[in-house]
Amino acid sequence: MPKSKNIHEVSKLIEKGEAVILPTETVYGIGCRYDCQDSIDRIFYLKERNINKPITLHITKAMLSIFDIDKKILELAYRIFPGPFTLIVKSNKKAGFHSKSEYTGKIGIRIPENKIFQNVIEKVGVPFCMSSANISNQETPILFENIPFDIEGINDDRNIRGSSSLIIDASQESASCKRI
What pLDDT, in 10s, does the model give residues 94-122? 889 999 998 899 999 999 999 999 999 99
Please state, in angstroms and rounded to a whole number, the distance separating the CA atoms of residues 92 and 128.
Answer: 17
Percent composition of the chain: helix, strand, coil (DSSP 3-state, to 5)? 30, 25, 50
Superfamily of domain 3-179: DHBP synthase (3.90.870.10)
Domain boundaries, the chain: 3-179
The pLDDT tens digits for 9-28 are: 999 999 999 999 999 999 99
| Backbone phi and psi for residue 133, each to the nearest 5 degrees, phi listed first | -85, 65
Q: What is the mean pLDDT of residues 153-163?
A: 91
Please state, in angstroms and rounded to a whole number, the distance separating the CA atoms of residues 28 and 157.
Answer: 9
Half-sphere exposure of 102 (CA within 13 A, CB side): 1
